Amino acid sequence: MATWKTAGKVRMTPKGTWSSNTAYDILDCVVSADGYTYYIAKQAVPSGTALNNTEYWSEMVDVSGAISDMSDTVDALEDRVDDLEYVPIDITSISISTPSSGVAEKGSTVSAVTVNWVISGKPVSLSLNGSVVTPVTSTSKALTGLNLTNNTAFTLTATDAGSASHAAKTATKAATLYFYNNVYYGVAAAPSTVNSAFVTGLASKTLTGTRARTISVKAGSNQYIWYAVPTGLGACSFNVGGFDGGFQAAQTVSVTNESGYTDDYFVYRSTNANLGDTSVKVS
C-alpha cells in the first residue's frame, strides 16, 4: 500500500509590501518599502525579521536600476520636448492705464501710475524699472508716491528659464507716461479778443502730442469753427468737406491750462461762418 506525504506549500504567495509587524510563511513574496526589490521567504519568517536577513529571505529581483534608467530616459525625452516647444519669452504689450491712457496734462503732478503688460512665456524673474515684481505671474503693478512732472518711461524686464539646449532669455519693453497740452476746438462767434479764456472755453479738448485729427462740428448762425494747437506741434493744414483750405492764417496766443501751465498756441478760425454739420481733417 502506497504511503503519501504532504508536500507542504508549493506555490508563491504575494504579500505586498514587507511589514515589520507581520510573520510570513515559506514562499511568501514581499516587496521592499521603496518598491524596487522583491524577496521570497525561504522558511517561516518570524515577525520583525528584516529583509536583509538571508537566513529567511532570498532576493528575487531588483528593479531599481531599470527604474533609474527609465527615469533618465523620461528626463531626456522631456528635455527634447522642452527644446522643441521652447519659444523665447516676449513682452507682447505694455501700457499705462493710470493716469488715463498714460497721458497727463502739462503742469500737473502725477503721484500714481498703473502699468499693465502681457507676457508670452513663463518668466522666472520679473522687474519694473529695476524693482522686483512678485509674483512673476503678475500682469500689472500700481506705483505710488511718484510725484512726476515730466515724461517718464517704465521698463519691464522678464527672464525665462531657457531649456536644455537654450540659454535663458530676457525680454524688455517700456511704456511712457507723457505730459501733453490740450488741443482745443469747437464753434463760436468771433470775439473781440482771442485770448486764453476764449481758447480754453472751446467745447472740445484732447490731451495729445499731435496736431493731426479729424473733427466733426456744427457751426450755426454767426459761428465759426476754431482749432487751437500748441506751437510746438507745428502749423496746421485743413481739409473741409473734401476741399483743402477754408481756414484763416493762425493767430499766436498765450494760453494757460487748468494746471497752470502756459504755452503759445496757433489759433485757427474757419474763413466762413454758419457751415452747419462739418467734418474737418487737420494735418
pLDDT in tens, 155-196: 999 999 876 676 888 999 999 999 999 999 999 999 999 999
Buried b (16+ CB within 10 A) or exposed e, 232-263: ebeebebbbeeeeebbeebeebebebeeeeeb
Q: List, for residues 189-219, the tens digit of each pLDDT value.
A: 999 999 999 999 999 999 999 999 999 999 9
pLDDT of 37 reads 86
| Chain mean position to CA 189 | 49
Q: Hey, where are the domains in the chain?
A: 13-62, 90-179, 182-282
CATH classification number, 90-179, choose in 2.40.230, 3.30.70, 2.60.40, 1.10.1740? 2.60.40
Buried b (16+ CB within 10 A) or exposed e, 173-204: bebebbbbbbbbbbbbeeeeebeeebbbebee
pLDDT of 76 reads 57
Torsion sign, CA atoms 63, 68, 71, 73: negative
pTM of the model: 0.69
Burial class (CB in 10 A: 0-12, 13-18, 19+), 224: buried
Higher pLDDT, 147 or 69: 147
What is the mean pLDDT of the segment spanning 43-57?
A: 91
In this predicted structure, the answer to whether residue 34 has a pLDDT above a threshold of 70 is: yes
| Chain mean position to CA 38 | 52
Name the percent of the chain lying above pLDDT 90.
70
What is the mean pLDDT of the segment spanning 129-137?
A: 95
pLDDT of 5 reads 53
pLDDT of 173 reads 96
pLDDT of 236 reads 98
pLDDT of 81 reads 59
Least confident of 51-65, 67-81, 136-150: 67-81
Q: Which residues contact 246 (CB under 8 A, 6 or more apart)?
A: 238, 239, 240, 270, 271, 272, 280
| Cα separation, 179 vs 185, whole angstroms | 20
Q: List, for residues 101-124, the tens digit of each pLDDT value.
A: 899 999 999 999 999 999 998 899
Domain 13-62 is found in CATH 2.40.50:
no
Q: List, for residues 70-91, the tens digit of each pLDDT value.
A: 666 656 566 565 666 677 889 9
